Structure 1
């Protein structure tokens, strides 16, 4: 499991390596308006939201990004959002992000769980628990 605590602490030295952080059914959130629209749509559709607060310079974030995208394709009953902590710094600060990646699990716009770090097995367990109760 890896965490990046701040820029420069966790650069994997491969800054030229491009990782597609938002493929599959992952929605990139670049504005507060976009966040609000997606949260409202999730409420209307009774979807759980998993918000991945991440950073392009973070090695563990790069490692888990393709897995997060794969999960988004497998679990269409869940909305997957990606927020770059540098691009939306003030917004990210309001969520008290201490390390990247941090995954927030939301229902009706409210946090009910979180996972800090690029822990694939724990992320999968949390999603499996959700899909037991969320209709497909």
Structure 2
């Protein structure tokens, strides 16, 4: 992959992509507008304890739901994206379909995130 997108975890079934440039984010978000695929955006920060706590669970969800795009955005790397989505606490998970927010979960709530992915993935 390019230098601006890094894979947090790769497997045969799913991955979480860290987006580190505004251009790559804009391209990925624009492409999602014409797709029926659910996108889960994980807004986090390197210094956030709850973000680190839920990170393994997010990777597990990416493997379980390989038909869903999992994107990780560090609010300190891309603060404008966090501002656009009105992220005020971490972790915040924003579920997006066809470019529109369909659900939001604030906090390290693995079971709730799992339910919301199930609800919106098709």
TM-score, normalised with respect to structure 1: 0.75
Select the structure of larger CA radius of gyration: 1
Q: 2:61 maps to which residue? A: 71
Where does structure 2 lack aligned partners over 5 or more consecutive residues? 1-6
Q: Distance in 1 between matches of 2:31 and 2:81?
A: 19
Q: Distance in 2 between matches of 1:108 and 1:100?
A: 24
Q: Distance in 1 between matches of 2:28 and 2:63?
A: 17
Q: 2:29 aligns with which of 35, 39, 50?
A: 39
Where does structure 1 lack aligned partners over 5 or more consecutive residues? 1-20
Root-mean-square deviation over aligned CA pairs: 1.6
Q: 2:3 maps to which residue? A: none
Q: Distance in 1 between matches of 2:102 and 2:86?
A: 15
Moved over 3 A (4+): 40-45
Q: 1:97 maps to which residue? A: 87
